[in-house]
Amino acid sequence: SAVISQKPSRDICQRGTSLTIQCQVDSQVTMMFWYRQQPGQSLTLIATANQGSEATYESGFVIDKFPISRPNLTFSTLTVSNMSPEDSSIYLCSVKTSGIRRPYNEQFFGPGTRLTVL
Amino acid sequence: QKEVEQDPGPLSVPEGAIVSLNCTYSNSAFQYFMWYRQYSRKGPELLMYTYSSGNKEDGRFTAQVDKSSKYISLFIRDSQPSDSATYLCAMSPGGSYIPTFGRGTSLIVHP
């Protein structure tokens, strides 16, 4: 299993500012994922953060808006830049177990960061 | 049409009721089917996963997959107020793939 912590747990920000969300995992993992969860919407994958290389972004998400850092195998940050009220959401960090002997690689989530943009 | 459809609810039931939560999907490549539970202000946690068609039981929870109908269900027997949460279905073509999630169904079990 994996235990994931996120900081901050919540924040209220002004339009046009940026917020950096931190994600810490209690074990080394190859891939970390950042999701957005908007009210009434499904979990949407923003990007996959790989240690030692550029993050891979999903359609509709760009690096200028959501820059990601992955300095080591247990830590990642997601920045929400130049925020607007449409960015109000819960942002979740996630990791997936790996191993060829597992039939299914379980996915673990952090508690989320609840962001409100005014 | 979304790949995974799930009614957001809320679904309100009395304690002790049998709860049925459902999802439909369109991608026939999906082979792994998961149910996650998410309590308020927490991240989702995996409840169960099923590979291909059939049933899987774990205590009060039963997951059912009907690939011919592209329909999955989660049954909760003897529901408890502590089961009140949002239940998200998810599915993927393989065990190492990133799953596609449904919107989640909000369940309220009242005493």
A96 vs B contacts (CB less than 8 Å): 96, 98
The residue-averaged pLDDT of A95-110 equals 75
**Cα B108 to Cα B39: distance, rounded to the nearest angstrom:** 11
Q: What integer pLDDT is reported at residue B101 of this predicted model?
A: 95
- From the list A53, A66, A96, A83, the residue with the least C-alpha distance to B90 is A96
pLDDT at A49 over 90: yes
CB A70 within 8 A of CB A50: yes
B41-94 pLDDT, tens digit per residue, is 999 999 998 988 889 999 999 999 999 999 999 999 999 999 999 999 999 998
Provide the mean pLDDT of chain B.
Answer: 94
Contact B43 A42 (CB under 8 A): no
pLDDT confidence of residue A40: 82
- 3-state SS, B2-39, equals CCEECCCCCEEEECCCCEEEEEEECCCCCCEEEEEEEC
The pLDDT, as a whole number, for residue A103 is: 61
CB contact under 8 A, A40 and B102: no
A23 at interface of B, judged by CB pairs closer than 8 A: no
Residue in B102, B106, B110, B101 with CA at minimum distance from that of residue B40:
B106
Judged by CB atoms closer than 8 Å, whether chains meet at A42 and B102 is answered as: yes
Residue B23's pLDDT is 97
Q: Do B108 and B84 touch, CB atoms closer than 8 A? A: yes
**What sign results for the dihedral spanned by CA atoms A24, A10, A17, A43?**
positive
Which percentage of chain B shows pLDDT scores above 70? 99
Closest Cα in chain B, distance from residue A114 (Å): 8
Residue A110: pLDDT over 70: yes
Give per-residue burial for B75-91: e unless 16+ CB within 10 Å, then b: bbeebeeebbbbbbbbb
